[in-house]
Structure 1
């Protein structure tokens, strides 16, 4: 934004300090004249021989005024100089932290997000502003780094099916005798995976922007629907699903919360033991929140590995290519949907193997009108 040039804040503060000092000095001098000198008599009778003066009437008040006026003017001039000099120095010291904050802001505007103000001293308004600005820069830097990793990973994931499709088409063109049915089936599978990945990216973007209508939702119903939908997949993998819990009312997008629950149950099924695995789905109510918990058996995971599973395209095991391997965005979508609903997501490795995922969302009155 283009702005017309104006006075600096330091000069404005200096003039304000000077004006206040001058006003206080003028009021003090006026008070001296009003409450002290006004009671001095206008004239006084001088007794002969008492002070060495001749007999007569001496004008006291007018003489005092002639003496008082130039000295009052000198005092005001001194206060003016003191106000300008002292105000300039004092304003500079007061605005010193603001200068550092402005410099950090200019650096951030050029794209340098690693700079921190780290203003020393005890807490005051400037230092609180600097701390908030440092926290904002830290979060912004982490967000930008996450987005860069996400863009790189998404490009890699999208490039893979395109490269496979190109290779299959090259094979079909150079080898006309090759079975086209096999190539078509493989192209169909690769194309399906690319579509799934694209839809997952769109869902992740929509949830992150919070562009959805909020309605009353019961998480326990979402858990039942997700479990029923994925029951054939669980039977195929030899996994048993146990569902229990209370009515858990919250407010949000039914479609997104169903996607969240489905992703959690799907991950718990496919990342499980090779046979005779178990998935536990539980919903519970706390004083101000509702909790959806999904646990599963499986390989033992370290806390360091678990802390990275919500990043896009991260998997707890090697990247296997099966019909239910997923696109590596399951828990990333869960994290985004949870944050979009003002909730918290907690991942904890189970001592016996597997993982425990808890989604905590704000609770609503279960008897409220829909």
Structure 2
């Protein structure tokens, strides 16, 4: 934004110091003059031969000295005020320099203002925290864009290969070609929908309404029960009414992703537990499954986009590595917390804690 150049903050502070000092000095000299006049009236001195009245003569004698003092105060106040203002505004200059560097896409710079805590230090620390989060967010977005481009390129490359083979082999079975193209296209659509869901959750473009997590857990379980039965898995659900507040569609997607993830990454004839519980200030959804032991280092990366967990069990039901990333985004969009913990006997425990829905006023 173009602005007309005005006085600097340092000059404004200096002028304010000088103005305050001059007013204080003027009041002080005026008080001294009044005191001298009062003192002369109370204690009469031998009357010299003067033309002017004693009071006026005293004022004339005192005025040059007062003017010199005020002049010295003006010079001292300006120099001292300029130095003090510069010293006070030095931290703000460092913050401004850091902001300019950040505007030029240099997000790795930090102010790291030394000294004890005050308003400028709090501002610098807050700015450093903002830069750190912004740098991490930009790096995550770049990594996400690269992974998304790679994932979207895969079905397009497969489609191109199938079409080229069909063009070079006119006698190829078209039904098989159409079936494979349909499968690849369906996977591409699923990936695109997952990306859109992730974007919607991150932008928080949804309205909030009362939601019962226990009902969402039952719906997700019933939907995925045939998949669990085909793999020989059992799903156990328990929990009382668990009121929360948010988007019913997004929270259902969150629950479905967790249950699907617990089914897809499980042992043959394993188990899945879905539990809901309500607390004074939160509603909690927990999904656990059996499986191979997981390293804590691996678990900490599972919510990153396109992170499939290479050490986990894979199946034809494995997705694109966006399931837990979408869960994390939906949880954050609802001001909740997501906790992933490896189970001691193998498998994963995922806990989603959301703010409880406000209780109705009974008055």
- The corresponding residue for 1:328 is 321
> Which of 119, 126, 129 lines up with 2:113 in the alignment?
119
Larger CA Rg, structure 1 vs 2? 1
Q: Structure 1 residues 320, 167: CA separation in 2 closer, same or farther (over 3 Å shift)?
A: farther
How far apart, CA to CA, are the structure 2 residues paired with 1:38 and 1:75?
A: 22
Tell me the TM-score normalised to structure 2 length: 0.95
Kindly report which structure 2 residues correspond to 1:36-47, keeping only aligned pairs within 5 A, or say none.
Answer: 36-41=36-41, 44=44, 46=46
CA displacement at 1:259 relative to structure 2: 0.2
1:215 aligns with 2:209: yes
Runs of 4+ in 1 over 3 A off after TM superposition: 42-47, 56-60, 317-323, 365-369
- The corresponding residue for 2:187 is 193
CA displacement at 1:66 relative to structure 2: 2.2
- The corresponding residue for 2:288 is 295
Q: Structure 1 residues 280, 43: CA separation in 2 closer, same or farther (over 3 Å shift)?
A: closer
Q: Structure 1 residues 238, 41: CA separation in 2 closer, same or farther (over 3 Å shift)?
A: same
Kindly report which structure 2 residues correspond to 1:211-290, keeping only aligned pairs within 5 A, or say none.
Answer: 211-273=205-267, 275-290=268-283
- The corresponding residue for 1:3 is 3
SS at match of 2:41: coil
- 1:44–1:58 CA contact under 8 A, matched in 2: no
Tell me the TM-score normalised to structure 1 length: 0.93
- 2:209–2:248 CA contact under 8 A, matched in 1: yes
- The corresponding residue for 2:338 is 345
How far apart, CA to CA, are the structure 2 residues paired with 1:63 and 1:288?
A: 81
How far apart, CA to CA, are the structure 2 residues paired with 1:204 and 1:57?
A: 95
> Which of 157, 160, 170 lines up with 1:163 in the alignment?
157
- 1:249–1:366 CA contact under 8 A, matched in 2: no
- The corresponding residue for 1:50 is none
**Unaligned stretches of 5+ residues in structure 1:** 48-52
SS at match of 1:324: coil
**Unaligned stretches of 5+ residues in structure 2:** none
CA displacement at 1:39 relative to structure 2: 4.3
Q: Structure 1 residues 333, 324: CA separation in 2 closer, same or farther (over 3 Å shift)?
A: same
| Paired residues, number | 362
Cα deviations by residue, 1:79-132 (Å, 9 ceiling, x for unpaired): 000100000000000000001000000000000000000000000000100000
CA displacement at 1:62 relative to structure 2: 3.3
Q: Structure 1 residues 46, 264: CA separation in 2 closer, same or farther (over 3 Å shift)?
A: closer
SS at match of 2:81: helix
- 2:265–2:315 CA contact under 8 A, matched in 1: no
CA displacement at 1:320 relative to structure 2: 8.7
